[in-house]
Amino acid sequence: MKIKKRNLYLILFLGIQIMLMRWIENIPSFIETYYSKCIYLYISYLMRILFGWIPFSVGDLLIFSFLLYTIRFIYLLFKTRFQEFVDKIAGIIAFTSVIYFCFYLFWGLNYFREPLSKNLGYKTKIYTNEQLIDISTYLISQLNATHMEITKSDSLEINIPYSNEKIYSLAKNGYENLSKNFPQFTYKYGKAKSSLMSLIQSYNGTSGYLNPFTGEAQVNDKIPKTIMPTTTCHEMAHQIGFAAENEANFIGFLAALSNDDLYFKYSAYRMATRYVIFELYKRDKKKYREIYETINIGIIKDFTASSAFWEKYKNPIEPIIKKGYNAYLKSNNQREGINSYNYVVDLLISHFKKNDSKINEKKV
């Protein structure tokens, strides 16, 4: 059976692309200089100008359309009893070649840029238990103080009174403040959006995602409000070219903390605290319990409510999806896969050691 020449060329091109990517992943300085800090900036600006003003998620509609087309394709395949099967398979591989090319051109090459620690001049290294205890104590003190400033009571749970749209708008203010000291985190045009697939995201255990084909930052609008500021800032970090999850988490923390809004600051300290005490739990459970007891009761209620939210959506398919995402991360220069999220602690310790005089007094 004859295969269309166009499909043959695209199949060949896919092989070339895969070999090229194996070469590119070993030259991060080239990606940093010529793609992430140059070509990608214009691509991301263009995407946010084209799609940022649209109130709904164009990227989600593309995904829905693709799923419908896939269902139709499978239906017709069985209906025609697999006629021209080879040519159709060739067409699928050819289409994959186009998607592969667009993914890495529009955003994916950012996975292979230089580490954020180098970009910021941080010297990350294996941290000691003492350093982990010190930063945990410091972050909890800041979290407690912010919580008290908002609620005036250590036992009240925080309720963020903003609409989702207001959170997305306010998030830009944090980036504006952050860019004054860190111009590499400048955010222009557009803002985050609520995902049309928020319910699906809840079931697969995700708070948001970036659509690489439209450059839209998608937020699961069903998650607890105290998570939304940092989640929004995290997805915006992906938009400005930071693909690694641990780096996007750290930048999201900085952007939320740089916001003048107290609810954003609370969300920032909340996220950072959870990361560091989780690491402390893995290293020293006794010290973890001691430190955990110093957290305000109202914050514990917030943690409990967040856990209950995710527990409500637990299902047998979620672990399978996470395994798939884990494989995806590992294939894109994140060797620790999903566990790379926890390496944000390295950046937190380096940041506070360099920039915060209060914590330096404790020799973190």
10 Å Cβ neighbour count for 225? Answer: 18
Per-residue tens of pLDDT for the chain, all 364 residues: 577 889 899 999 999 999 999 999 899 999 999 999 999 999 999 999 999 999 999 999 999 999 999 999 888 888 887 787 888 899 999 999 999 999 999 999 999 999 998 888 887 777 888 989 999 999 999 999 999 999 999 999 999 999 999 999 999 999 999 999 999 999 999 999 999 999 999 998 899 999 999 999 999 999 999 999 999 999 999 999 999 999 999 999 999 999 999 999 999 999 999 999 999 999 899 999 999 999 999 999 999 999 999 999 988 877 777 677 667 666 676 665 545 445 788 899 888 887 765 555 544 4
Task: Name the packing angle between helices 344-355 and 262-283 (round to 10°).
Answer: 120
Nearest-angstrom CA–CA distance, 134 and 364: 6
Nearest-angstrom CA–CA distance, 282 and 126: 15
Q: Are 103 and 213 in contact (CB under 8 A)?
A: yes
Q: Determine the number of helices (DSSP H) and then strands (DSSP E) in the chain.
A: 17, 3
Here the tokens at position 132 are 């982990």
List Cα–Cα distances, 20 to 10, 33, 100, 104, 243, in angstroms. 15, 18, 12, 11, 19
Where helices occur in 52-188 by DSSP H, the ranges are: 58-79, 85-106, 116-120, 129-151, 164-179
Q: Are 347 and 122 in contact (CB under 8 A)?
A: yes
Extents of the domains making up the chain = 5-112, 116-360
Nearest-angstrom CA–CA distance, 192 and 215: 10
Here the tokens at position 270 are 């909340």
Question: Which of 170, 300, 307, 325 shows the shortest CA–CA distance to 236?
Answer: 170
